[in-house]
Amino acid sequence: MLPFARITVIGLGLIGSSICRAVRAYMPTARVTGYDASAEVREIARRIDLCDDVTDTAGASVTDADLVILCVPVGAMGAVGAEIAADLPADAIVSDVGGSKASVLAALRAALPGVVIVPGHPVAGTEHCGPESGFASLFKGRWCILTPDDQTPEVATARLRAFWEIFGANVEEMSPEHHDIVLAVTSHVPHLIAYTIVGTASDIEDVTQSEVIKYSAGGFRDFTRIAASDPTMWRDVFLNNREAVLEIMQRLTEDLNAMQRAIRWGDGDALFAAFSRTRAIRRSIIEQGQDDAKPDFGRAH
Amino acid sequence: MLPFARITVIGLGLIGSSICRAVRAYMPTARVTGYDASAEVREIARRIDLCDDVTDTAGASVTDADLVILCVPVGAMGAVGAEIAADLPADAIVSDVGGSKASVLAALRAALPGVVIVPGHPVAGTEHCGPESGFASLFKGRWCILTPDDQTPEVATARLRAFWEIFGANVEEMSPEHHDIVLAVTSHVPHLIAYTIVGTASDIEDVTQSEVIKYSAGGFRDFTRIAASDPTMWRDVFLNNREAVLEIMQRLTEDLNAMQRAIRWGDGDALFAAFSRTRAIRRSIIEQGQDDAKPDFGRAH
């Protein structure tokens, strides 16, 4: 039995459009309705036949839904919740895919009093965005984190779990607060660092932009991928997971200072020790299927 | 006409063994001799038939060479230079592949007075190391930087250029000092950041190692690749390109502080502006063939 039969996806970017495609690929008898605030995106969604129906208002997209998934930047969750509140069926479950969870849960509870909310976050993506960048297999083998709290009925969380498992995702539950500190480490701070270093490299007077590009295969190019991610989405993540990000940044800054000090004082043993302990993590990530085992991410040579 | 006929490669790791393979693939009439300080590596090199000959001393490997390429960690260049000095033919050219150039040129000049030295650096690699990790096409479409100074005869630099071009590399010339600041930006600081962030993530008490690994697809896993690189090689790079690395780190630290401040004060416009300017660099890197155009580096999904 399918956990949901009439699914509405609001926000048809990389993640939203991947959910639409996954519903069609893995739950072909379910109906999927889409809405996006951008008329251009709705037009593309219709042209590429992304959903069974694309509506022109958020409210119209939810009238018949048993699951509504909000796939908009985390700063917009509250407003979108308010937009659908009047049209939402009483038994519909609302979920989302936002990269920060405590602030989203608070915003949705305020906008949708009495509604069953199961916040979610599929830890998957690419650097591309928009309705044409999604694909059905995006969630396969990746983790999806659900962050119910004590107001969330267990049966609702179980249905969401079943939904994501149909797409091939592994599902984990944790508190919104724990999610936010874990993702600050594994996603938010890495993105902040990548955005910053790409900016810094552009600003060095002694090195031209052309040189940065030509010699990027020395390591820099790896950072440019995630630094090409959607700016609105990431602005909202940092504004909405401020405390956890600043805490991890503080730790990282201390560690960077220690590295610089080791370089300045020529402490080769400290550098060697620091550079030796990091290989085991890479090995585990590959062993657990979270990255490609091929050298250089499998890039063509 | 081939620029060199009898090539000696000292140090049979990723880069050295790739040169051996490239000589055999693209210069089949040239003879390639190999030496490595590790008896185990020499044994593997013989077993996999990496070279026409593998010698048991550095001196024996160079007696007949017209080109000697040192592929050892930059901190070992001077010692290896001294080891081959007595056996080096008078007309042999010595080059290297080290990631820092000013210190290497100084070390080789001191160890090999009167010898023609053309320092080089192919900006290519993977996170793997050892004689079995190399491949003939590693340098294809990548840049190789030569850093001759006013003591280097132009004809020697021209022969090295021709040598690398046979492997499909693009060759650029610049001063050792400029090389060192350019590579600090495009390679050394990215590696230092990657090593540090992987270490920091391992040390956060509130987040388990298992969580870091499970949710690494959120961005973190990208950093673990270059943080799995050879610790000895990278220790030596940082000890030998200290000033340039510390200068770029200072700039990066200022920019990281500005980002943290924008997050703390909720300055969404500053974050959005910073996150919007970084896409163009990614686009140029792909347009210029320095990275894979496929989403997510072409990883399997």
Chain A contact for B259 (CB, 8 A cutoff): yes
Strand intervals (E) in B155-220 = 170-173
In chain B, which residues have pLDDT < 70? 301
Nearest to B123 among A124, A186, A217 (CB): A217
Spell out which residues of chain B touch residue A274, defining contact as CB-CB under 8 Å: 195-196, 199
Query: What's the average model confidence in pLDDT over A40-45?
Result: 98
| Core vs surface per residue A172-202: b (16+ CB within 10 A) or e | bebebbbbbbbbbbbbbbbbbbbbbbbbbbe
Spatial distance between the Cα atoms of B141 and B139, rounded to a whole number of angstroms: 6
What are the pLDDT digits (tens) for A162-219? 999 999 999 999 999 999 999 999 999 999 999 999 999 999 989 999 999 999 999 9
Residue of A nearest to B261 (CA): A246
Q: Whole-model pTM?
A: 0.93
Query: What's the average model confidence in pLDDT over A52-79?
Result: 98
pLDDT of residue B301: 67
Task: Inform me whether the pLDDT recorded for A300 exceeds 80.
Answer: no
What are the pLDDT digits (tens) for A240-274? 999 999 999 999 999 999 999 999 999 999 999 99
Chain B contact for A47 (CB, 8 A cutoff): no
Spell out which residues of chain A touch residue B200, defining contact as CB-CB under 8 Å: 185, 248, 251-252, 255
Spell out which residues of chain B touch residue A224, defining contact as CB-CB under 8 Å: 278, 281-282, 285, 291
Q: What is the ipTM of this complex?
A: 0.93
Nearest to A213 among B209, B253, B288 (CB): B288
What are the pLDDT digits (tens) for A113-150? 999 999 999 999 999 999 999 999 999 999 999 999 99
Spatial distance between the Cα atoms of A96 and A91, rounded to a whole number of angstroms: 17
Is A219–B191 a contact, with Cβ atoms under 8 angstroms apart? yes
Is A213–B259 a contact, with Cβ atoms under 8 angstroms apart? no
Give A301's pLDDT tier (boundaries 50, 70, 90): low
Residue-wise DSSP of B59-105: HHHHTT-SEEEE-S-GGGHHHHHHHHGGG--TT-EEEE--S--HHHH
Spatial distance between the Cα atoms of B172 and B143, rounded to a whole number of angstroms: 7
Mean confidence (pLDDT) of chain A? 96
pLDDT of residue A299: 86
Give A280's pLDDT tier (boundaries 50, 70, 90): confident
All domains in chain A, ordered by first residue: 6-174 (3.40.50.720), 178-298 (1.10.3660.10)
Query: B211 to chain A, minimum CA–CA distance in Å?
Result: 7
Spell out which residues of chain B touch residue A232, defining contact as CB-CB under 8 Å: 272
Tokens describing residue B286: 């792909």
Chain B contact for A181 (CB, 8 A cutoff): yes
Chain A contact for B132 (CB, 8 A cutoff): no
Nearest to B255 among A138, A191, A196 (CB): A196
